[in-house]
Structure 1
Amino acid sequence: MENKTGKYFKYAIGEIILVVIGILIALQINNWNEEKKNNKIEISILRELLSDSKTNLASLEEDIDLNRKAIQSNLLITDFLTNGKTYHDSLDLHFGFIQYNTYFTINTGGFENLKSRGFEYISNDTLRKSVIDLYDRWYDFVDDLGDRNNKISNEQFNPKYRAFFKYYKRVLMENYVSFTPANYNALINNEDFLKLLYEQKYNNEFNIQALESTIMEVMALIASLETELKNN
């Protein structure tokens, strides 16, 4: 009797061990599948963030180029006016370029996707912090800068500046506006007009500094994203 009881007990223990092992294996497989699924989601998010970052980088670089062109036109017109040089209609394009300001729209699809799913999907803590910092700090700063420029242009600069011109011509296909002075000779050494040019040049220079700082952050994030994707 004791023999049978011992055998039954051993059999029951064996069955329990097998059940426990089965459960552990099932949990391990489930965890592995979940980890694999999360890793696929993470890679998809990282690729989207990388694509957005490259698009945003190109847009920022283009914006810097346009600000530089505005400064070049500003310096050329300032030289003509302070030295009493003769007007010719090629200056109209430069009068138009001067009024350019930063209007930057960022691509946020990848970041919004990350926010909706949860920031924890980026497993690398340093990379996660870099992504959040770029979008919540640097991009917000550039966005605020664009709003500030828009407000200054519409409420302060443009009304005063355009009062000196008789008409302007917008060429949509070429993405520029030319301005023809109402009286070019009246602009020569005109302190009010030269002050407007100086203030606008200062704004363009500030824009470039802000955009260059943001570009450094974007380039750093691109490098980090590419490294993380390579390691995955």
Structure 2
Amino acid sequence: MIKFFRKIRQKLLSENKLKRYLVYAFGEIILVVIGILIALQINNWNEQRKEHQKIAKIYERLILDIENDINDLAVRIEGYKANEHLYRKVMNDSVSTDLLDEGLSRIVANIPFSSKLRNTGIAQLKQANLSDPFIQTMISRYGDLDERKTNYETRIEALSQELIKHIRDEYPWYTEWISKKIMKDNSSPELQAFFVNSMEYRNFVTHSYNLIYNNYIRIIEDTIDFLHKTRVELKRELNPQFVILDEKKLLDFAGSYEMVEIDCPIVPDLEVGMKLPVEINSNTLKFKDERFDISMYLYHELGDTFYEPRFINAFFYFERDNNDSIVGLKIQTKSSEERCNIELQKIN
């Protein structure tokens, strides 16, 4: 090609056609410039594609972190709410020794597991140094909620340690209390009197209740709500067609299901006839195993398919009849090493 253009230039010069030569030379320069611009544009497209792929991977990692955080925080709320009735009985002065069997002596001393929100995805996002307002707001909100959550975990832990120190320094039955699970029938009268009748313990419980139920749980609920919304936005960034089902649409999937077929060696205790309720929780379905007391939050994936990231990458496929009503559910895992297939029928 270069040889071809050189011959044209030499011919024009030899024929003394200067004007035509200048026009031709200018055209050749334009072609070179256009070629350079095209090459630059292609390079820009390639760089943008690589950048989009990099950001997409960060979003996918962040979504995984969010889903695991939501599950962990939801389990924590459930644990505290299971003990709320004990707190209320103490504060209402309606305690009996029977409540020792339910863990009355431990409700303040149970130190919460303090942990930061998973930060792998958010750290990668910070390193990407993106100027998008949504990203900047998300990073800031992430930090604020995590700091508030950690602050109350620290305060709850400090109160727990204060109670433990107080009992250790003031009461001879400390060793008895710390060394075994306290029940009504295995504990001394002096120990029982402290947890059942003393104003000291009631004050500790009241303070703990205020920290946990009036503050900490609300922060966790705010954090879960923020994580849900952030996950939806990230999903939409990855797939503009992504649609989150609202609570009204999710009602179709809720109900009680009965196992009719099981091929699940990784969970050997499952039995045909076992009933599993599926409930609504925010923009997810809550799948609660009554026998094993396991809760999972199912995220909408596509159509009638949901998935739960912590349960061995399990997918939940809801089945419809000719009238478009939900009649069944299939649970499958995607890993061949952790294979599991369960079929259920909806019974109400």
1:49 aligned onto 2:62: yes
**Alignment partner, residue 147 of structure 2:** 140
Aligned-partner SS, 1:106: coil
Distance in 1 separating the partners of 2:62 and 2:223: 16
**Alignment partner, residue 108 of structure 1:** 119
CA shift, 1:129, in A, is 2.9
CA shift, 1:213, in A, is 1.6
Give the number of the structure whose residues are more often strand, by fraction. 2
* Aligned partner of 1:211 among 217, 220, 238: 220
CA-atom RMSD, angstroms? 2.7
- Superimposed CA distance per residue, residues 142-178 of structure 1 (whole angstroms, 9 cap, x where no aligned partner): 1222223223332x233235656523357xxxxxxx3
Deviating 4+ runs (over 3 angstroms)? 75-79, 82-89, 161-165, 178-182, 185-188
Q: Which amino acid aligns with 1:115?
A: K
Aligned-partner SS, 2:116: coil
**Alignment partner, residue 131 of structure 1:** 138
CA shift, 1:9, in A, is 0.7
**Alignment partner, residue 174 of structure 1:** none
1:192 aligned onto 2:200: yes
**Alignment partner, residue 88 of structure 2:** 75
**Alignment partner, residue 175 of structure 1:** none
Aligned-partner SS, 2:178: strand
**Alignment partner, residue 79 of structure 2:** 66
Q: 1:192–1:216: structure 2 CA closer, same or farther, 3 Å change rule?
A: same
Structure 2: unaligned runs, 5 residues or longer? 1-12, 242-348
Q: Which amino acid aligns with 1:18?
A: L
Distance in 2 separating the partners of 1:58 and 1:159: 33
Structure 1: unaligned runs, 5 residues or longer? 171-177
- Superimposed CA distance per residue, residues 36-90 of structure 1 (whole angstroms, 9 cap, x where no aligned partner): 11110111111111111111111111121222223233335567xx457345762
**Alignment partner, residue 272 of structure 2:** none
- Superimposed CA distance per residue, residues 84-140 of structure 1 (whole angstroms, 9 cap, x where no aligned partner): 73457624x3322443354233210001112223234xxxx3431342123221112
- Which fold has the larger relative contact order, with Cα–Cα distance below 8 Å and residues 6 or more apart in sequence? 1
CA shift, 1:223, in A, is 1.4
Q: 1:60–1:187: structure 2 CA closer, same or farther, 3 Å change rule?
A: closer
1:15 aligned onto 2:28: yes
Give the number of the structure whose residues are more often helix, by fraction. 1
CA shift, 1:226, in A, is 1.3
Q: TM-score, normalised by structure 2?
A: 0.55
